Chains A and B, each alone.
Chain A
Amino acid sequence: MRKPDFVYVIYIQTTPEKLWNALIDPEMTKEYWWRHRNRSDWKPGSAWSHENYDDSSKVDIIGTVIESDPPRRLVLTWANPAKASDPSKVSRVTFDLHPLEHEVRLTVTHDETYPEMLSSISTGWPAVLSSLKTMLETGSAMPMARESRSLK
């Protein structure tokens, strides 16, 4: 197996259950993830998509749920819809939620990326994760990440 391209770690004062819910609840993702929703039934093998919250015809990322073990581990494939039929353009994202005494360590690993994808990932994840932390700890997200922005 190829080694992961990116590993992001953030410590959030919350519970694994609340953090898991924040990854999949559209009312929460729209607050910290550039006004997007993640749509799926979150069962292994099911499809998922990352869509504009206000206009679900704008789909930025599609993929398949590979592993779903709430509230501990979620593994998804991750692709630009226009390129998803090309296996070399399908990357993989893993969310690992590790409970500690008063906080949860969230590790986001992005594997099997390709060069054109790197720039949006390397600027995107730190902003989304910082905003997620702020939202869970203070109740409101970073103003920047609340506005609509699409990823490719």
Chain B
Amino acid sequence: MDEVFKALADGSRRSLLDRLHARNGQTLGELCDGLAMTRQAVTKHLAILEAANLVATIKHGREKLHYLNPVPIHQIGERWIKKFEHDKLKALSELKRRLESRDA
């Protein structure tokens, strides 16, 4: 679990996860596209995310594709969020989202 928190404690790595959340199964080249990071930096961040099991890779033909693996994040939630809290937390998140989007 330490590895997951360390991997998440970096804005660049979180933005890579956001990109995979928006579109799953990207190559290194696609992930680098439009990012203000060098290919080497992206490669390094992806290796840390993969070691923490937050990114899973598969070979598809000749390409290596990267997928967001949300399983460790789910396990963090399971550890501290009790069953009865789920619905209340969901309602609070929804309230926050609505109030903030109205102000925007």
A interface vs B, CB < 8 Å?
1, 3-11, 107, 109, 122, 125-127, 129-130, 133-134, 142-144
Contacts and interface: CB of A to CB of B under 8 A. Distances in A.
B56 A7 contact: yes
Interface of B: 24-25, 53, 56, 58, 60-61, 65, 67, 69-71, 73-75, 78, 83, 86
Contact of A9 (B25, B56, B60, B86): B56
A8 B73 CA distance: 12
29 contacts: A1-B60, A1-B61, A3-B60, A3-B65, A4-B25, A4-B60, A4-B65, A5-B24, A5-B25, A7-B56, A7-B65, A8-B71, A9-B53, A9-B71, A10-B53, A10-B71, A11-B53, A122-B70, A126-B70, A126-B73, A126-B74, A129-B71, A130-B71, A130-B74, A133-B75, A134-B78, A142-B78, A144-B83, A144-B86
Contacts of A134: 78
Nearest to B76: A130
A3 B25 contact: yes
Contacts of B78: 130, 134, 142, 144
A23 to B, nearest CB: 16
Nearest to A108: B71
Contacts of B67: 4, 6-7
Contacts of A144: 78, 83, 86
Contacts of A133: 75
Contacts of B83: 143-144
Q: Indicate the member of B56, B58, B60, B65 with the most A CB atoms within 10 Å.
A: B56
Nearest to A109: B58
Nearest to B73: A126
Contacts of B56: 7-9, 107
The 7 closest A-B pairs by CB, nearest first: A126-B74, A7-B67, A9-B56, A7-B56, A3-B25, A126-B71, A130-B75
